[in-house]
Amino acid sequence: MYTQFQNTSIRVLQSALYQTNACIIQTTEWVLLVDPNWLPLEIEYIKNWVDQHLDNRKLYLLFTHSDYDHIIGYPVFAKAQTIASQAFVERNDQEKILQDIKNFDDQYYISRSYTPVYPPIDVVITESPTYLTLCQHDLHVYPTRGHTNDGLFTIIPDLGIWIAGDYLSDLEFPFIYDSYEHYQATLKLARQIIRQYDIKVMVPGHGSVCTSKEAVLQRIQKDEAYLNDLAEEAKDSSPKADRHNKEGNSKNWEKWAQQYDFPKGLKESHLANLKLVKKRSL
C-alpha cells in the first residue's frame, strides 16, 4: 500500500481508490488506526502491520465519519477500542451504509474474508471539543458537520497531528450531504484550529496531506470560495445563454472544474450541491 507521508508518529497510507487515506498513529503506549480502507489487500496490509508492530500496546480505531468507504475495514480490527461521534452512533440508516458496501463489492466482484458490519462504538464523542487522554497524550476531538452530520476533527496537539476526515481535500471541493451552513461553520472551526494549534500535518480523507499551516489555510480559503460561488450560482436559476453553454455547463462549474485533477467525477457532486442549496433558499 502506498505510504504518502511518514514521520516517527504517523504513517498515512493511501488506497488506490479515490486516494482515500488511512492512518496509523503510534506512541509508546498505543496505536491509533484511522479509517482502514478499501480493497481487501490494502486492509490486509494494514492488519499485517498491526500484527507485527502492536506488541503490548493498546489498539484504538477512529472513524472520521460514517461514509461507507471509511468504515469498510472495521471487522478486521474488531478487537480495537472504537471512537466516533454520537451522530455516527445514532444513525438510523446503518443498513443503507452496509448496502453501499455490498453494492460496491458486487459491482467490482470483490470478495472479502469478512462480512461488513456497522462499527459499534466504545468511546462516543459528544462535546465540542471532547478531550480524550490516552496515557501520556491528549486528543482534542471536535464534532463536524456539513459533509455528513457525524464527522470529527481530531487533533493530537503534542504530535502536531490533525485528522480532518472528508474536509480540506486537494482533490475535491466541498461535498455537502448535510447542510451548507454547517459546512461553513466547519470551515470556520478549521480556521480556529489553525490559529490555536501548532499543526505539523493535516490529513484529509482523500488526497495529499498538508505539512504547513499556509497550505491548510489555502485549502480553507479555496473551500470557502467554492461555497460562496455555489450560493451565487444557486441564486440565479434562470437558464440564461451566457451562463450555460451547449453542454449544459455553467460558467461557475467550468471555473471550478479546471481547479481539480479529476473533474469528470466531480460534476455530479457539484450539481447535487447546487440542488441542495437551491432547496434551502426556497
Q: Residue numbers of the site for Zn ion (CB under 5 A)?
A: 67, 69, 166, 205
Residue of 162, 173, 167 whose CA lies nearest to 151: 167
- The distance of closest approach from Cβ of residue 70 to Zn ion in the complex, given in angstroms and rounded to an integer, is 6
- The distance of closest approach from Cβ of residue 237 to Zn ion in the complex, given in angstroms and rounded to an integer, is 29
| Shorter beta-carbon distance to Zn ion: residue 69 or 223 | 69
Q: Checking phi first, is residue 135 left (phi over 0); if not, alpha (psi -120 to 50) or beta? A: left
- The distance of closest approach from Cβ of residue 165 to Zn ion in the complex, given in angstroms and rounded to an integer, is 8
- Coil, strand, or helix at residue 38? coil
Do residues 46 and 180 lie in contact, with contact meaning Cβ atoms separated by under 8 Å? no
Residue of 128, 178, 184 whose CA lies nearest to 155: 128
- The distance of closest approach from Cβ of residue 173 to Zn ion in the complex, given in angstroms and rounded to an integer, is 14
Do residues 19 and 170 lie in contact, with contact meaning Cβ atoms separated by under 8 Å? no
- The distance of closest approach from Cβ of residue 71 to Zn ion in the complex, given in angstroms and rounded to an integer, is 10
| Shorter beta-carbon distance to Zn ion: residue 159 or 168 | 168
Strand ranges of the sheet holding 58-62, from the earlier edge strand across to the other edge: 2-6, 10-14, 21-26, 30-34, 58-62, 81-85, 123-125
- Bridge partners (DSSP) of residue 20 are 206
| Shorter beta-carbon distance to Zn ion: residue 143 or 204 | 204
In this structure, what DSSP letter does residue 216 have? Answer: H
Residue of 173, 172, 171, 161 whose CA lies nearest to 203: 161
| Shorter beta-carbon distance to Zn ion: residue 66 or 250 | 66
- The distance of closest approach from Cβ of residue 59 to Zn ion in the complex, given in angstroms and rounded to an integer, is 23
Do residues 183 and 177 lie in contact, with contact meaning Cβ atoms separated by under 8 Å? no
| Shorter beta-carbon distance to Zn ion: residue 27 or 153 | 153
| Shorter beta-carbon distance to Zn ion: residue 166 or 233 | 166
Residue of 36, 15, 38, 187 whose CA lies nearest to 105: 38
- The distance of closest approach from Cβ of residue 250 to Zn ion in the complex, given in angstroms and rounded to an integer, is 25
| Shorter beta-carbon distance to Zn ion: residue 35 or 233 | 35
